[in-house]
Amino acid sequence: MNADQGLFVPLILGILEGLTEFLPVSSTGHLLLAGHFFGLTQPATFIVLIQLGAILAIVTIYFAKLGMLIRDALTGKAYAWQFALTVVVACAPAVIAGVLLRDFIQGDLWESPMLICMTLLIGGIVLLLVDRMPKQEKYDDIYHFPLHLAVIVGLFQMLSLVPGVSRSGSTVVGAMLFGATKRAAAEFTFFIALPIMVGAFGYDLYKSRDLIDPSLALSVGIGFAAAFVVGAIVVRYLLDFVSRYGFAPFAWWRIAVGGAGIIALLVMR
């Protein structure tokens, strides 16, 4: 974080992270575009580390459910172990690909604002089409998702390694295309976000341990706190919003941001 940007910038970026992490709009894409167009620059490490605030937001809101799942797993209830397996299976492809491609993703891909804008735009169109198309909804209980659906969601989640695609957006599209209800698709993304984001946080913290100085630590702390508060609000109300309005509002937002960004980049050439 540039020293002359003060503490206002990490605060704004933390709010932006909290707002967009669990929405199908790509938090990374928005943070990178904020840096490119508005000069809100930040090291790649900052983007990953402030996600811890969003992680804790999920834990706070879903504390009771997580505790119930752990208790039921320890007492040998089959559904809890089946659910844990589906979460692991859904996370595995993105974890493996993320570790192998980390330098390429945070280097070449993160430094291409045109790519981010195009993926935002295309992803918005795809999300809008999937949201509106007639589907046979077969799965409305995330605790009983079949294993093949978890595999499909995991493969779709790999697409989110490209900035602008959106982790939640890709998993929601994959789940809905293969029979999950909108609410169940959105809720499942919360649970698979936990191991993915914890793993990304831990791995990036280890890889960047020599780059973290006191000034960056303070910025990360502010961004973390903002992401936690705003992320908790989003998680608290998102499922009800999706049940009522679907994903179309987020699709149109993606289309608007991606389209405006492409126009701006072409004009700035």
Average pLDDT of the residues in 247-269: 95
The CB density around residue 214, as the number of other CB atoms within 10 Å, is: 7
Task: Give me the residue label for tokens 């000034």.
Answer: 215
Residue 6 pLDDT: 67
Domain-wise residue ranges, the chain: 3-268
**Close Cβ partners of 73 (under 8 Å, ≥ 6 residues apart):** 80, 81, 84
Residue 67: which H helix or E strand, with range? helix 63-74
Q: What is the pLDDT of residues 132-150, one digit of tens each?
A: 999 889 999 999 999 999 9
Q: Over the chain, what is the mean pLDDT?
A: 90
Average pLDDT of the residues in 244-269: 95
- How far apart, in whole angstroms, are the C-alpha atoms of residue 213 and residue 263? 38
Average pLDDT of the residues in 180-201: 90
- How far apart, in whole angstroms, are the C-alpha atoms of residue 84 and residue 205? 25
Average pLDDT of the residues in 178-200: 91
Q: What is the pLDDT of residues 201-256, one digit of tens each?
A: 787 777 777 766 777 778 888 999 999 999 999 999 999 999 999 999 999 999 99
Residue 104 pLDDT: 86
pLDDT at 2 over 60: no
Q: What is the pLDDT of residues 35-62, one digit of tens each?
A: 889 888 767 678 777 888 888 898 999 9
- How far apart, in whole angstroms, are the C-alpha atoms of residue 201 and residue 95? 12
Report percent pLDDT > 70 for the chain.
95
Q: What is the pLDDT of residues 89-104, one digit of tens each?
A: 999 999 899 888 888 8
Amino acid at 17: E
Query: Could you tell me the maximum CA-CA distance found in the chain, to the nearest angstrom?
Result: 62
Q: What is the pLDDT of residues 63-80, one digit of tens each?
A: 999 999 999 999 999 999
